């Protein structure tokens, strides 16, 4: 179970202000960049996509936290800040950079308890941890599970198909790309620990399997011929 914080320090109005801050911070992160910097032409490297991803993760993390008994305030605020530095910092340090932004923001607004601020920032800083999710606090686990889940299912499939267009691939490559979403989904199922996240993961990966089956049934010669088949 997570560390209990009896007070609920973040009002709905304050949370909306946080959302606006994160949105504006991401937009400012890419202002003035040369076109194509950091692969900005990929949709998931844009401020718009990153903000949408953050909102998706926040919604999922809240659902998991509510059902698993985690502190919802810690979880939702950490989720909102988890990728705030994604567009301005290198991938391997974006979590630490995001925690610094979150700490500065929270300490400059109202009188949030220091215990609350530290739990939020710890979750932000740890969300890229690649080890066993049982080794992190429950609130961090909820964030990490939500982050994994946003990359699978219909949303993940759509992003992979968009990637095909940006890479000038044809629809004949769709099966391969959707297969990658399935692999990512299987990895998510192997990593999540809560019953809630596991249930969501299974629901999402089932949709991807259906789509892949429909794709294979409607597009002729989806799989390339085996050059050794005639030799068997």
pLDDT-based confidence at 51, cuts 50/70/90?
Answer: very high
In sequence order, what are the residues at sequence separation of 6 or more whose Cβ sits closer than 8 angstroms to the Cβ of residue 116? Answer: 5, 9, 73, 74, 106
pLDDT-based confidence at 221, cuts 50/70/90?
Answer: low
Question: Which helix (DSSP H) or strand (DSSP E) does residue 48 occupy?
Answer: helix 47-68
CATH of domain 12-131: 1.10.3210.10
Nearest 10 degrees: Cα torsion 192, 198, 201, 205: 110
What is the predicted pLDDT for the residue at 228?
59
pLDDT digits (tens, 9 = 90+) for 66-86: 999 999 999 999 999 999 999
pLDDT-based confidence at 6, cuts 50/70/90?
Answer: very low
pLDDT digits (tens, 9 = 90+) for 194-217: 999 999 999 999 999 998 888 888
Higher pLDDT, 172 or 99: 99
What is the predicted pLDDT for the residue at 33?
61
- The Cα 58–Cα 70 span in angstroms is 14
Question: C-alpha 112: how far from its chain's center?
Answer: 26
What is the predicted pLDDT for the residue at 4?
47
- The Cα 124–Cα 214 span in angstroms is 39
Give the mean pLDDT of 81-92.
92
Average pLDDT of the chain, as a whole number:
86
pLDDT for 2 beyond 80: no
For the chain, the structural domain boundaries read 12-131, 153-218
pTM of the model: 0.85
- The Cα 142–Cα 181 span in angstroms is 21
CB 167 within 8 A of CB 114: no
């Amino acid at each position: 179970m997570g560390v209990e914080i009896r007070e609920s320090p973040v009002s709905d109005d304050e949370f909306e202000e946080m959302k606006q801050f994160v949105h504006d911070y991401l937009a400012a992160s890419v202002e003035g960049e040369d076109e194509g910097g950091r692969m900005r032409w990929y949709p998931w490297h844009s401020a718009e996509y990153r903000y949408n991803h953050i909102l998706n993760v926040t919604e999922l993390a809240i659902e998991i936290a509510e059902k698993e008994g985690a502190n919802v305030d810690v979880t939702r605020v950490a989720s909102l800040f988890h990728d705030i530095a994604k567009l301005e910092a290198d991938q391997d340090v974006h979590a630490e950079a995001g925690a610094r932004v979150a700490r500065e923001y929270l300490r400059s607004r109202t009188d949030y308890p220091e215990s609350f601020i530290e739990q939020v920032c710890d979750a932000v800083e740890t969300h890229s941890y690649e080890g066993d999710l049982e080794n992190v606090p429950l609130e961090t686990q909820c964030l990490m599970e939500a982050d994994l889940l946003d990359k699978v299912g219909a949303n993940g499939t759509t992003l992979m198909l968009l990637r095909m267009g940006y890479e000038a691939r044809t629809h004949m490559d769709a099966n391969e790309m959707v297969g990658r979403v399935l692999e990512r989904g299987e990895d998510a199922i192997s990593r999540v620990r809560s019953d809630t996240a596991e249930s969501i993961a299974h629901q999402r990966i089932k949709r991807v399997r259906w789509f892949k089956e429909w794709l294979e049934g409607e597009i002729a010669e989806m799989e390339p011929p085996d050059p050794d088949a005639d030799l068997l």
